[in-house]
Each structure stands twice: as C-alpha cells, then as structure tokens.
Chains A and B, each alone.
Chain A
Amino acid sequence: MIGGQDTFPFIRGLRQNADDEHNRFAPVILLSAHSASDKVAEARDCGINFFVAKPISPMVIMKRVLWVAKNTRQCLETPSYAGPDRRFRNGSPPPGVPERRRANAYRVEQSA
C-alpha cells in the first residue's frame, strides 16, 4: 500500500499520466516481503524498474538506487504499457529481415 492506495494502480496511474510527463517515467523500486505468484507478473506489467525482496538493508537499497540511476535502458509506451523496456536479450530480426551473419554470407557468395 502507498498512502492508502493499492501499489499497482498507483504505479500504473503514474506511468500512464500523460499530463505529468516530468514524473511519469521516474524510477520506481518496489519493495515486498513476499509476492504471490499472480502478483509478480502484475508488478512487471505495471512498469516498475526494480523489484527488491525483503529483508533489505540500507546498503542493498543504495545499490539498487545506483543501478537504476546508471541504467541506460530505454522506456517505451504502448496503448497498454508505459515504463522501462524490459527486454534483456535481442530477439530474432523482424519477419523478412535475414540475420546479419547470413545476409553477409549471401553477399560474399554473390560477389565471388
């Protein structure tokens, strides 16, 4: 709970409040003693930057704050989600676009 308001609606409201562009992508670190399985996905989908499980120490919190501050990850906005881009790995190229290695090999064959 944050100020009597449920946490996830609060964060979702912050992220989707287009009238407050200055604050809507402020970093959010969520602390929780335990997260029920159905809440983990909801936490991810509401646009938090970092999830920290208790027990915590000031040093742990400081490390997480520094991580969020130094993080250069882009944000993204879609009709259903606003927040940090959560993808850690690049997926395959878009449909119809060959992987660079294969495309290069094809060009070498053509020029030979």
Chain B
Amino acid sequence: MSDIRFFTPENRLAAAIDDPSGMLVDDAIAEADRQLALAAVESARKIDESLELIYRLSAQAAPGRLDALYQAVREVAGLAGLAQLTELGRAAHTFCSLIDLGQAKGTLPQDQIQVNVDVLRLLRRPERFADAERKALLDNLNGVLDKARRTAAA
C-alpha cells in the first residue's frame, strides 16, 4: 500500500482570473509600474546603506564575514531593479554567486572580493560610464566568477 496520494486541488486562482471583476490586467500592470517608480528613491537609499555595509565588511577579516557580506550583496541584487540600476543588480548577483562559492569552501580570496566591491562602487553611478565600459566591468566580474568556479571544480 503506497503512502503517496495524487490529486488535483481546486484551482481558486484560475477561477478568480476567469471571474470578470476587479481591475483589467493592463490597468493593474500600469498601476504596479507607477507604484514601483515611487519606490525607486527609497530603494536607492536602502542600496546605499547596504553598499556602505559591504565596503566595511570587505575591509575586515571578521568571522562570519562572508555570511554578512552575502546578505548585504543580496539586498543590493534584490533592490537594484527597483532603483533602475540594472547593471548594479547584475554585478551584485555575480558577487552573490562568488560568495556562495566561497562559503562552500569556507574562504574567498581578498582580491576577488575587492574587485567585486570596486565594480559595485562604480556601477552605483552608471551614468558616469559609456555602455561599453559598463559591459566591460560586468564581463570582468563574470571572468572572476568563471575562474573561481574552475578552481572550485579542480
């Protein structure tokens, strides 16, 4: 006798979507976009707080630093899109992957941390750079991550 039960639950979400009530999809998306635009300033402020924390953590060698660094960088990755800082978000995401590798090994080379922190600092003000320069910065971080992955796999 198997302890596995397969079943199809009532799909109330599908019923709610088919029910002609509430807002139209286009209106709801437009309203959401408007609310997100309002959140951009607050998101940028929180990003700056996280970046300050990242700068401090990157300069010290305290126990548990990688965990704290991961949380702060992930905060940046999560908010960057709201603040229209897409490339900063990509850089933070790459940095998160690098820290994740470092957490698995228990350590992460300081030069790899520093180059990521430097790029985060630069991409906080993306308007200062040309498209090609911003792309080169991101490519550089991806190269660092690829190298770290190869080292971890070896």
Using a CB–CB cutoff of 8 Å, the interface residues on chain A facing chain B are 25-27, 32-34, 36-37, 54-59, 61-62, 65-66, 68-70, 72, 74-79, 85
Contacts and interface: CB of A to CB of B under 8 A. Distances in A.
Contacts of B39: none
Contacts of A27: 13
B117 to A, nearest CB: 16
Interface stretch (B56-64, B76-84, B123-131): B76-84
A68 B75 CA distance: 27
A77 B73 CA distance: 37
Contacts of A33: 74-75, 77-79, 92-93, 96
A66 B9 contact: no
Nearest to A24: B9
A58 B32 contact: yes
A66 B103 CA distance: 37
Contacts of B33: 57-58
